Amino acid sequence: MLRFTIRRLLQMIPTIFAVALLIFVIFSVIPGSFASSLMSDGRTNADPETLARINAEFGLDKPVHVRFGEYIVGLVQFDLGTSFRFREPVTEVIGDRVWASLKLSVAAMVFAIVVGVPLGFIAALRPGSILDTATMVGAVSGLSMPQFWLGLLLMYFFALQLGWLPSFGYGGGDPLYLILPAITLGVTPLALLARTTRAGVLEIMNEDFIRTAHSKGMSNARVVRWHLMRNVMVLVVTTIGLQFGSMMGQAVVIEKLFAWPGIGLLLVDSVAIRDIPVVQGTILVIVVWFLVINTFVDIIYAAIDPRIKQT
């Protein structure tokens, strides 16, 4: 088990390196520099001397391969460069925002699990019932809906019409401000969890060992608790992990909509003013977050199901 864990953790390193390379390449090969977008007003060309000074200040006058070398050396030391806008280390700028994003993702996931898993379960126990049909129609709708539109509608009803909840902002950490963004972000994983749980339960109920348990006189409640739940949980844990990992990506739009001061909002704002070190840094953090969670899911999975280790 320890060897498997170490091997999976080591496998992450080349992927992170490749992603860092990819991000660096797309931001340095393609035309349009920070200096020119900072100085150009769209009508006249920027003064070449000023451009050269800005480029020198941020080290942008060095050749690409030298800059990439410096970037990787910095990366190994957890140094992501300096933000053009804040004139502060990127790691600090991102560090200030991580907590807000983490809080939002965890709240959204808790909402999705608490509602989605029981819904999928109940739906599967009565296939074809009204509740089952309603759950499945709801799930496919949840997956087809633009999340930010749902967020706008929730904002309209619960904040502006009813006045029950604050419409946007962080509110200094007041949990009331968390409710609407978390529900909005949680709808997609909720729909997926309901679908996965339902499919998993239906699949496993047809398995031989469930029939055996029934036929040896085990009560229904015991079959569900001892055989069904355990097997379905493996599936559900995987879905939760994968969704949790990709949530940071989806959170970008939701954070922008609710003015939630997380990494996603930082990314969108930095893209708008071409603060490239921050853009590279936030994307890298989102990708690493995704990879770390996927690796943990693999490790947990292997701990539950020993057959996986051999592959």
Smallest gap, in angstroms, from Cβ of residue 190 to another protein? 16
Residues of span 280-309 touching another protein by CB under 8 A: 283, 286-287, 290-291
Q: How far is CA 248 from CA 150, 245, 297, in A?
A: 18, 7, 16
Determine, following the binding rule CB under 8 A, whether residue 36 of this chain makes contact with another protein: no
**Distance separating the N- and C-terminal Cα atoms of the chain:** 13
Query: Which residue in the set 1, 26, 56, 304 belongs to the binding site for another protein (CB under 8 A)?
Result: 26
Q: Give backbone dihedrals phi and psi of 78, rounded to 5 degrees, phi first.
A: 60, 35
Smallest gap, in angstroms, from Cβ of residue 150 to another protein? 8
Determine, following the binding rule CB under 8 A, whether residue 27 of this chain makes contact with another protein: yes
Smallest gap, in angstroms, from Cβ of residue 143 to another protein? 6
How far apart (Å, rounded) are the C-alpha atoms in residues 256 and 262? 9
Q: Specify the 3-state DSSP secondary structure of 218.
A: coil
> Nearer Cβ to another protein, position 140 or 308?
140
Question: By 3-state DSSP, what share of the chain in percent is helix, strand and coil, each rounded to 5?
Answer: 80, 0, 20
Determine, following the binding rule CB under 8 A, whether residue 243 of this chain makes contact with another protein: no
Which runs of E-coded beta strand occur in 157-255?
none
Where does this chain touch another protein (CB under 8 A) — which range of 15-23, 111-119, 175-183, 224-232?
A: 15-23
Smallest gap, in angstroms, from Cβ of residue 35 to another protein? 15
How far apart (Å, rounded) are the C-alpha atoms in residues 40 and 45? 6
Q: Specify the 3-state DSSP secondary structure of 38.
A: helix
Q: How far is CA 152 from CA 159, 160, 231, 247, in A?
A: 10, 10, 38, 19
Determine, following the binding rule CB under 8 A, whether residue 19 of this chain makes contact with another protein: yes
Query: Which residue in the set 117, 154, 248, 297 belongs to the binding site for another protein (CB under 8 A)?
Result: 248
Determine, following the binding rule CB under 8 A, whether residue 13 of this chain makes contact with another protein: no
How far apart (Å, rounded) are the C-alpha atoms in residues 258 and 185? 11
Smallest gap, in angstroms, from Cβ of residue 226 to another protein? 26
How far apart (Å, rounded) are the C-alpha atoms in residues 158 and 69? 51
> Nearer Cβ to another protein, position 1 or 64?
64
Where does this chain touch another protein (CB under 8 A) — which range of 40-48, 70-78, 232-240, 272-280?
A: 272-280
Look at residues 19, 74, 82, 43 and name the one whose alpha carbon lies nearest to residue 270. Answer: 82
Query: Which residue in the set 160, 259, 304, 308 belongs to the binding site for another protein (CB under 8 A)?
Result: 160
Query: Which residue in the set 110, 134, 140, 259 belongs to the binding site for another protein (CB under 8 A)?
Result: 140
Q: Specify the 3-state DSSP secondary structure of 82.
A: strand
Determine, following the binding rule CB under 8 A, whether residue 164 of this chain makes contact with another protein: no
Where does this chain touch another protein (CB under 8 A) — which range of 22-30, 55-63, 66-74, 79-87?
A: 22-30
- Tokens 């320890």 locate to 2
Which residues lie below 8 Å from residue 20, measured CB to CB, with a gap of 6+? 71, 72, 75, 284
Residue ranges that bind another protein, judged by CB under 8 A:
15, 18-19, 22-23, 26-27, 30, 32, 140-141, 143-146, 148-149, 152-153, 155-156, 160, 246, 248-250, 252-253, 256-257, 267-268, 271-272, 274, 279, 283, 286-287, 290-291
